C-alpha cells in the first residue's frame, strides 16, 4: 500500500455524491441526499485525528470506516449500500491498495453492515481480508496472469478516477 492513514487521499462529500450518482445511473433508483448532515458525518468519520494523527492505523481501517458509516448513516434517498461500497473501493484504489475482485464476499459484507449485524471492528477485519497483498499482486503480474479486478464503470463527471462497479447488484 502506498499511503498511510496520515498521508492518504481522503474522499470528500462531493466525490461521494458523484459515486452515488454513478451508482444510481448504473443500477437504478432515486438520486438525492436524504440528510446532508449524515452524509457529512459519514465522510468525516474516516478522517478523524487525535493529536494530529489519524485514529486509524491502516488504510483498510479507513476504507472500512467509509463503508460502515455510509451504510449505517443512510444519507441518500436510495443506493446507500452501493454508494458505500463504491466509496470504499475508490478510497482503496486512490491510495494504492487493490481490493480482491468483485464477488459474494463484498456483497455479503455490505449486507451485514447495513443490517447492523456486525460492528465496525468486524467490518474492518473483513475489509482487510478482501485486499490483495502488494507482493501477491506483483507476483501475479510478473507471472503474466493479468490478475486485476474486473471492475468496470464510467467516468464520474469532472472527476479523475474510475468508479469501480460491482458485477453483483447490491440491493
Q: Which of the two residues, 108 and 150, has the higher pLDDT score?
A: 108
| Residues 121-125, mean pLDDT to the nearest whole number | 96
Give yes or no for a contact between 76 and 32, defined as CB atoms under 8 angstroms apart.
yes
Three-state secondary structure readout of 42-104: HHHHHHCEECCEECCCCHHHHHHHHHHHHHHHCCECCCHHHHHHHHHHHHHHHCCCEECCCCH
| Residues 27-46, mean pLDDT to the nearest whole number | 97
Report the pLDDT value the prediction gives residue 160, as an integer from 0 to 100.
Answer: 36
- Report helix, strand or coil for 27: helix
Report the pLDDT value the prediction gives residue 142, as an integer from 0 to 100.
Answer: 52
pLDDT band for position 3 (cuts 50, 70, 90): low
Asked if residue 161 has pLDDT above 50, the reply is no
Predicted TM-score of the model (pTM): 0.76
pLDDT by residue (tens digit) across 58-115? 899 999 999 999 999 999 999 999 999 999 999 999 998 889 887 799 999 999 999 9
Q: Could you tell me which residues are beta bridge partners of residue 54?
A: 49
pLDDT band for position 1 (cuts 50, 70, 90): very low
Q: Could you tell me which residues are beta bridge partners of residue 53?
A: 50
What percent of the chain is predicted at pLDDT more than 90? 64
Determine whether domain 13-142 maps to CATH 1.10.10.10: no
Q: CA gyration radius for the chain?
A: 15
Amino acid at each position: 500500500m502506498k499511503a498511510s492513514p496520515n498521508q492518504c487521499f481522503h474522499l470528500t462529500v462531493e466525490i461521494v455524491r458523484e459515486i452515488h450518482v454513478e451508482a444510481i445511473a448504473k443500477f437504478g433508483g432515486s438520486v438525492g441526499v436524504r440528510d446532508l448532515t449524515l452524509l457529512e458525518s459519514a465522510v468525516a468519520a474516516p478522517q478523524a485525528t487525535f493529536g494530529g494523527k489519524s485514529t486509524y492505523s491502516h488504510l483498510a481501517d479507513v476504507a472500512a470506516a467509509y463503508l460502515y458509516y455510509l451504510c449505517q448513516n443512510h444519507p441518500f434517498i436510495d443506493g446507500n449500500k452501493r454508494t458505500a461500497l463504491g466509496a470504499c473501493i475508490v478510497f482503496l484504489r486512490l491510495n494504492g491498495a487493490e481490493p480482491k475482485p468483485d464477488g459474494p464476499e463484498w456483497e455479503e459484507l455490505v449486507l451485514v453492515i447495513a443490517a447492523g449485524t456486525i460492528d465496525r471492528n468486524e467490518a474492518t477485519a473483513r475489509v482487510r481480508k478482501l485486499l490483495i497483498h502488494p507482493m501477491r499482486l506483483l507476483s501475479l503480474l510478473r507471472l503474466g496472469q493479468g490478475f486485476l479486478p474486473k471492475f468496470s464503470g464510467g467516468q464520474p463527471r469532472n472527476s479523475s478516477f474510475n468508479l469501480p462497479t460491482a458485477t453483483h447488484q447490491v440491493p
